[in-house]
Structure 1
């Protein structure tokens, strides 16, 4: 087996363009050179997963009704405009919800969140503002409680929140070969997607996870003082430059810059 995995031993062998996870698709022409790898290698398969916690207003059951009947609603709207929307409201929602609730939910779903980073920002806002009435409408999926910080720890932590109840939805978008996906990159290159654009597949595998957790928020003033020390500031700029170069070399266009603050918070 010595030398069997060297690239020069596979000169002339190119990718067949075959996707075994899409049995209905024809092979695509691909001129890329095949890269040998052992079947049990850890880099042969990296799942690309997106996850989000269930927070109001997305936990409202009206969202499920809209998603289940979305094609019908959209066809009514396309054919009859406002009259069609009223007809859809009367058919599916009038017995339980007001027209305003339907309009708000339907608009929210049509303008669905596009970027992965935006979802995380919404989750952060829900957790730190958990006492607001807007986030207490459905404790079945999301319930949180502030914890008193003992003397001495407040130097390092601004708040600690116990999350008694939480539902997370995880969706498998596809997979990558040879290199792992970057969590905060919305569309990294080389993803082999399970559901291709314009394809016959109309769904993705997903799982719901119910549990609890602890949210810890670091003292931002303390981190800011630490970041502004000359040595840390120098290393922080160096780290940011290296990370930007790393992302650019990989062809990533959607990513957040990282400094020493990111390292201190993980």
Structure 2
């Protein structure tokens, strides 16, 4: 990461010094710049803190493009790009970061002030008076619309004194005696004579309102941005809190024909929209590229036209327009059920999905209609926005989603791609339909649905009046069953295949016409395609795994409390699910460990709720 030039500092007896050259900070993995340290997030580097700048400041002149046509249609961009890597020999290129928060304190002289006032030497965060390393402010204020600013220390210290901000002439100091772990031991002092004030109570909902502080609309991650109008009440957060930055991620699997064969070739050679003459000229001396795919220039021209039309059926070898996330999942489900034999090398065929050779009779006894071995898959994950405070939900207004750049015309978004493998299971639709019509099953699912709907209505009120969306809960018995099944299988696969649970990921397909779950490797390195998960999909192993997973689900070390729980989890959207039985690392779950209930699998202890797998011998 490379920060922009610091603002000029005024040293004693000196004029304005020249702007220093950008310096290289730390290093993070490219995938982290999409998932963990994306635009607008704060990252600690040694004893300093920075905020990742908008994508319009990134040097993407040599960045690798990532293509996923179906997902780019939904997000309205031309392509995606891997976060750029910096020049290894110079502090240039890479991702830009701005210093934030601006307030630092010195553990020696205890002074609390803006960073530039410490007159630190270039490339260091050190007090020039006592030569102690500075400490960035622990506290910031942020609103639900993504704005973030420094904590108003002066107003907090002078809250009981009628003075204009900054007019007392005193110097703020920060003291921590370490006597307790509470905020009471963090004390702010001003040598103008006002009483000392601790940070206790700063996190109260009314704390900033009592000071008359409203959101200033600050967007420090956007270069040269002006404050935005915002009527939100900000809240106090710790700089390293998980609530200070929630990424909004979108993902898609690469399925035929996009990203495969000639479609992949046209995208990589940047021929979308090219005329016939340009295509012919492009391949005039490059016939070797076409020979790899056993194709001609005329075939390429037809594919270029298909990109423009986007109107034919996938069964005929083309793809219809995909404009919503639900149709994206439907396309993936059809591709997983249909399968795809290997025809090209991995470079030109990221999706290989085949039925196992063995007898599926024993597997079908579990109510599984079929399984597919996904021997090769590619997932593209895109950072499209972020929020602060409450985690993102279906009820959020799009106005709550913070911008990644000053301009809306960048035409690209940061992304990463995962190459891996997986196992896809499709449930028996007839058996599933009979089960989910059971009154006891529906009543139990309605308890979670009611809690989720109440949560969505509460979230819909977050933000400006009238901007929140009212969205009904998507929870159904089918969804709870598929989701809980995915969790217990991931836990079992991690024992049998040797992968940690955090390296596996679920992808659920649940609506009136879909009932399937894909479990696949979620790592972005070669360890995700070693064949360990595909081997678990062979009929004999799969039947053994299902039996073992369901046996583990029958008893939790927290039973009977876990099974008899009226509600659990954040937002009370779980029932019989806890860390001892069904919860996973949050990187593995699409829903942050929500909407889980073991009773949907094996029934409850009283026999009132029939589990989908309860009748197994």
TM-score (norm. length: structure 2): 0.36
Q: Residue in 1 aligned with 2:205? A: 7
Q: Residue in 1 aligned with 2:404? A: 194
Alignment of 1:1-266 (within 5 A): 1=183, 2-11=200-209, 12-60=212-260, 61-62=262-263, 65=266, 68-70=270-272, 73=273, 85-92=275-282, 96-98=297-299, 99-108=301-310, 112-131=321-340, 137-138=343-344, 140=346, 141-147=350-356, 148-151=359-362, 153-182=364-393, 190-195=400-405, 199-237=408-446, 239-240=448-449, 243-244=452-453, 246-249=455-458, 250=460, 251-252=468-469, 257-266=474-483
What's the CA shift string for 1:69-124, capped at 9, x where partnerless? 55xx3xx8xxxxxxxx5455545578634333221122229975221222111111
Q: Residue in 2 aligned with 1:79? A: none
Q: Give the 3-state SS of the residue equivalent to 1:193 in structure 2.
A: coil
Distance 2:390 2:207 in 1: 22
Q: Aligned pair in 2 of structure 1 residues 192, 232: CA closer, same or farther (>3 Å)? A: same
- 24-33 or 93-102: bigger deviation: 93-102
Q: Give the 3-state SS of the residue equivalent to 2:237 in structure 1.
A: coil
Structure 2, gaps ≥5 residues long:
1-182, 184-199, 285-295, 312-318, 461-467, 484-617
Distance 1:29 1:229 in 2: 52
Distance 2:307 2:396 in 1: 25
1:214: how far off?
0.8
Structure 1, gaps ≥5 residues long:
77-84
1:191: how far off?
1.5
Q: Give the 3-state SS of the residue equivalent to 1:22 in structure 2.
A: coil
Q: Give the 3-state SS of the residue equivalent to 2:371 in structure 1.
A: strand
Aligned-pair Cα RMSD in Å = 3.3
1:150: how far off?
4.6
Distance 1:13 1:86 in 2: 61
Distance 1:88 1:111 in 2: 26
Asked whether the 8 Å contact 2:369–2:428 carries over to 1, the reply is yes
Distance 2:265 2:470 in 1: 33
What's the CA shift string for 1:121-140, capped at 9, x where partnerless? 11111110015xxx755462
Asked whether the 8 Å contact 1:163–1:215 carries over to 2, the reply is yes
Asked whether the 8 Å contact 1:145–1:162 carries over to 2, the reply is yes
Asked whether the 8 Å contact 1:155–1:219 carries over to 2, the reply is no
Asked whether the 8 Å contact 2:436–2:477 carries over to 1, the reply is yes
Aligned length in residues: 249
Greater relative contact order (Cα < 8 A, sep 6+): 1
